[in-house]
Amino acid sequence: MQKSLHLDPAKCTGCLQCEMACSYEKLGEFNPSRSVIKVFTFHEEGRFAPYTCTQCDEAWCLRACPVDAITMDLASGAKIVIDDKCVGCKVCTISCPFGTINYVQETGKVAKCDLCGGDPECAKACPTDAITYIDANATGYDRMKAFAEKSLPSANTSA
Amino acid sequence: MKHHIIIGAGPGGVVAAETLRKTNPTDQITLIGDEAAPPYSRMAIPYLLVEDIEESGTFLRATDHYKNHGIDYIQGRVANIDPNTKTCVLEDGSNLSYDELCIATGSTPISPPIEGIDLPDVHSCWTLEDARQISALATPNSNVVLMGAGFIGCIILESLVKRKVNLSVIEMGSRMVPRMLDENAGGLLKQWCIEDGVGVYTSTKVNAIKLADPDINNGSSMQVILDNGASINADLVISATGVKPNIQFLQNSGLEIDQGVLVNNKMQTNIPNIYAVGDVAQGMDFSTGEYTVQAIQPTATDHGRIAGLNMAGKNAEHNGSLNMNILDTLGLISTSYGLWMGQEGGDTAEIYTPEVFKYMNLRFGIDDESDVLVGATTIGLTQHVGVLRGLIESKIHLGEWKQRLINNPMRIMDAYVASTQELDNVVH
Ligand SMILES: Cc1cc2nc3c(=O)[nH]c(=O)nc-3n(C[C@H](O)[C@H](O)[C@H](O)COP(=O)(O)OP(=O)(O)OC[C@H]3O[C@@H](n4cnc5c(N)ncnc54)[C@H](O)[C@@H]3O)c2cc1C
Ligand code: SF4
């Protein structure tokens, strides 16, 4: 059974442990600005929402890449950027309708969530279970993903 | 078992072939490309010019990919097609018969009617072969004139500067990238380039390119004569004045052709077993509903996917392709989406701080879409820019978020997350 990240804004307190853990895993330093999971703050509502790549089936980023620098990890289902191949053209960043693959000026390449090879650090770091790594067809996050994908016209297909 | 032939092995054709194979493991698939190199991506050429990658780094897939996926790749050029007998005739005289055909032949640079355009050191920047010629001539301190500051011109501009040439850019329009950036954004881009030592001449035309005697022309072999009377020395002239779809070989085929091959929302032409995708196809634009040739990579691959699914017997349709571009010009990153020029009567959210080269302009729709994002222009934005596509294509009604965006257009990601996730019923 493939697992996916389940993000539950209702449980998020905005403590940013996930951003810390993500940047530490990826860069070896605490640098939340380069974390690929982001917590969005809604002052008006007093709410927080963790958000990252849904590893969507459409994989707009992967398809748009001109040099095959994004591949799918068969074990985890994650879409992964191969740094050595990425030329930094950024076309994936405008193609991803979720806004979850970003250009990093320091490296001249793009960064996105790769599920840490199937053991995501953000989920382990989250003290409130706002981020969990669970069977793919469970609850909320999947609904959000389904909503987002369904609402995108270019995804309309039927057998 | 059907035989599918795909003509043209750029991103559109390759994605069509792959999607077809993935969806239908047994049908026969032949991919025909006329270039000498294995299927490659034009988009990677700028990175080849600055030697970030080698030629193999431009290849769309590993060279054994096609064979491994049961796709027969043929290097050859299709001379014409006959839909009555369902055959493709190759230039070497061979014939191939098909059940379904996909035309993915891309586009070719326009050669503007200017005296001297055929001189040996005048090149377009479109193919790997062009890139090799440009690499040989664009040496440090050489004088290079770039004709056209459109999308492609601006993409290669950075590569030329990194090759340390003396660069002059000539653009007929009143600003840089006039078909992708508005006045504010185009103005910022021009100023950025000038501050970086690039000569940018807008509202200026090249009248002629003349051979010159290097001995009396400061070592340069050409003179580029401008319509304002001035002339610029050049060792290399690059022509980037637009492209036209490769449709010549389809004359008399019975296919409906306007600027490109007209396709419906399944990428099907007027002949049901013939599809067309990418730069050669004239398909529906998401924002206007009109049929246009967009000539951008994301549209080519989206087209390819839809055609591939339909050829595999699925029923796939789109609601038009969203026009979108991203440019990195000497470190200044600009993007535009959809109706970036706005809609008559639609509201706008904008921040413009030219001192720090930051700009963001969001366009809202009209009538019952007055709280829906329909277009955007950004300068200097790298984080979450794709969400502009999500907001536009999903036609999300922003409700109270519209006013929040008018107050601060940078909050696009907040607006998207809030509109797609359930933030309510929170219990802490
Ligand atoms: C330097 C450069 C930079 C670019 N950068 C960007 C960018 O940043 N973003 C973006 O969105 N787009 C960019 N583009 C545009 C993008 O490359 C094209 O939109 C894309 O290549 C279109 O794909 P395609 O498959 O439709 O056509 P192509 O890539 O042109 O492929 C078509 C292939 O078919 C072949 N062919 C033509 N006629 C025949 C025939 N009769 N028989 C057999 N084969 C034939 C052609 O030779 C070609 O190999 C760039 C283009 C260039 C040149
Ligand atoms: S930025 Fe890198 S990963 Fe993204 S499309 Fe370009 S080459 Fe591929």
Alpha carbon distance B417, B228 (integer Å): 52
B9 alpha carbon – ligand 1 mean position (Å): 9
Q: Tokens 């085929």: give the residue.
A: B253
Mutate to test the interface with B, among A57, A103, A154, A158 (most CBs of B within 10 A): A154
Interval between CA B63 and ligand 1 midpoint (Å): 18
Handedness of CA B172, B176, B178, B184 (dihedral sign): negative
A3-155, CATH topology level: Alpha-Beta Plaits (3.30.70)
Check pLDDT > 70 for residue A157.
Answer: no
Ligand 2 center from residue B347 Cα (angstroms): 33
* Best of A7, A95, A105, A112 to mutate (most B CBs within 10 Å, chain B): A95
pLDDT for the residue numbered B219: 81
Label residue A144 by pLDDT band (50, 70, 90).
low
Fold category of B122-239 in CATH: FAD/NAD(P)-binding domain (3.50.50)
Q: Which ligand is located closest to the Cα atom of residue A70? A: 2
CA pair distance B294, B103, nearest whole angstrom: 16
Number of A/B CB contacts below 8 angstroms equals: 172
Rounded CA gap, B250 and B280, in Å? 11
Q: Please tell me the distance from the alpha carbon of residue B61 to that of residue B59, in angstroms, as a whole number.
A: 5
List, by residue range, all CATH 3.50.50.60 domains of chain B: 3-109+243-311, 122-239
- Residue A153 confidence (pLDDT): 45
B12 contacts in chain A (CB < 8 Å): none
What CATH number is given for B3-109+243-311 in this structure? 3.50.50.60
pLDDT tier at A159, thresholds 50, 70, 90: very low
Give the ipTM: 0.92
Ligand 1 contact via B279 beta carbon (within 6 Å) = yes
| Average pLDDT, integer, range A73-99 | 95
| Position B87 pLDDT exceeds 80 | yes
Distance to chain A for B279, nearest Cα, Å: 14
Domain with CATH 3.30.390 in chain B: 332-427
Kindly state whether B84 is in contact with chain A, defined as any CB-CB distance less than 8 angstroms: no
* Per-residue confidence (pLDDT) for residue B426, from 0 to 100: 42
Q: pLDDT tens digits, residue range B60-81? A: 999 999 999 999 999 999 999 9
| A:107-136 residues touching chain B, CB 8 A cutoff | none
Q: Which CATH number fits domain B332-427: 2.60.40, 1.20.120, 3.40.630, 3.30.390?
A: 3.30.390
Percent of chain B surpassing pLDDT 90? 94
Inter-chain CB proximity A89 and B47 less than 8 Å: yes
Closest partner residue to B387 (CB to CB) among A7, A47, A98 is A98
pLDDT of residue B216: 81
Residue B127 Cα: closest atom of ligand 1: 53
pLDDT tens digits, one per residue of B354-394: 999 999 999 999 999 999 999 999 999 989 999 999 999 99
Per CB-CB distance under 8 Å, the chain B contacts of A88 are 47, 328
Residue B23 pLDDT more than 90?
yes
What per-residue confidence (pLDDT) applies to A43? 86
Q: What is the nearest CA distance from B255 to chain A, expressed in angstroms?
A: 25
Domain boundaries, chain A: 3-155
Q: Which amino acid residue places its CA nearest to atom 4 of ligand 1?
A: B43
Residues with CB under 6 A from ligand 2: A 64-65, 67, 69-70, 81, 86-92, 109-110
pLDDT in tens, B138-167: 999 999 999 999 999 999 999 999 999 999
User: Is B152's C-beta closer than 6 angstroms to any atom of ligand 1?
Assistant: yes
Considering the entire predicted model, what is its pTM?
Answer: 0.93
